[in-house]
Amino acid sequence: MTFADSGGGGVTAPNLTQDHIALDDTFAARRYFRKFEGITQHLARVAAEMERDGSLSREDAGILAAYVTRIAATFRVLSMKYLMAGREAGGVLGALTIDKVESGFPVHRELLTLATDTLQAARHLSGLPERGELIDRMIRQIVGDLEIPTRLQFALSQRLYYEALLSEPLFYAQNDPQAIWQGEGKGGRRRYLVHWAVYDSQVNLPTLYLMEVEDTGRRALPTDAGRWPEAQAHLIAQSLAGLKLVTIAGGFDRDFDDLHPKRLRRFHVGPMYSSAFTLQSGPIREVLETANAPAGEDWTLAWTLEVLQSERVETEKSGWFGTVEREIFALDPFSGRGVDTGATRTERAIILPERAYQALAEKQPPGFASVRKFVVGKGGRVLSHV
């Protein structure tokens, strides 16, 4: 069941043979990138709004805003790569491929290619003429030969792409964990906020993780050459949308006896639904059809937060004489849903323009009453409605 179907479900892995589409039309690709340029700006404002109302701490909001900035930069860079989609000579570059059903975002492969291109960007730039030379040659071809300089435009777009790869802070398929010092807790325990992010290959969505950890090891976690690389690798390997938070946190707790996960949060950024680019179903489709919004305002973005909280600690034997602490996590007590979700609670929100919100308010589809609405008004102002 998807968010579009019920207004509150989770994300579902796509059918790779049917759910992807290539944006091989120049103007369609540019409209798509312009749409996401606006959406990422709104996401930063949503994080600021959640900080104002106390849903996020200032530090949490700052971390999320930094990831959103990197997501926005990634879309800008991809827009340069595919600036000439459908027009470049011989169609050698291809076109941006997006998940048109469950995500609305580029497919995971696009992010993998981005990372590979970054490693080779300097070599590509060394073989391309400078910007000024390309522009001069384009002008001469337009004025002197009365021709559209398509090949030169393509070369310039690629130069801009490779330059941006080396200068922009990008969101990659894998964004390794970082630890932020939070002070000392009871008994002098070191406390950290560990955050990381992935572009989940199962659902083609940016997924952000924040975990509060207590450290009872001999050395501080970020400076421990033995534990920290292993902990980073463990967390990245377990960062899959199909895994429940209790599975991720429980596995980490068992594998690292002196690291104690107290709270784990997972933010799903998306899916994005748009009548122009995605094949949504259920209430979302009806809302967008009723809104009949102009280009640039015909979209809705889902934002889901899962939270897993440690409830208490139990001690168990380790070896002949030792003992270790094990976290007991609180699961959602209502209707047994905690067992299904693997989380203490799940909060869902949607971000949508004013016109789409008006259509949603009129139709009042089932399943959306408990979904928080962030409405984008004139001038990009974001208002929160429950």
pLDDT in tens, 297-335: 889 999 999 999 999 988 777 767 677 888 899 987 654
Mean per-residue pLDDT, 356-375: 89
Angle at 251 between CA 250 and CA 256, to 5 degrees: 105
Confidence of residue 293 (pLDDT cuts 50, 70, 90): confident
Tokens describing residue 114: 């981005």
Q: What is the pLDDT of residue 283?
A: 85
Q: What is the pLDDT of residue 230?
A: 97
Domain ranges of the chain: 16-167, 174-385
* 149 or 77, greater pLDDT: 77
> Residue 76: pLDDT above 90?
yes
**Which among 68, 86, 88 is positioned nearest to 32, based on CA atoms?**
86
pLDDT in tens, 205-254: 999 999 999 999 999 999 999 999 999 999 999 999 899 999 999 999 99
Confidence of residue 353 (pLDDT cuts 50, 70, 90): very high
Q: What is the pLDDT of residue 83?
A: 85
Lowest mean pLDDT among 45-54, 188-197, 201-210, 278-287: 278-287
Average pLDDT, the chain: 87
> Residue 91: pLDDT above 60?
no
> Residue 271: pLDDT above 60?
yes
Q: What is the pLDDT of residue 9?
A: 41
Mean per-residue pLDDT, 82-92: 66
pTM value?
A: 0.89
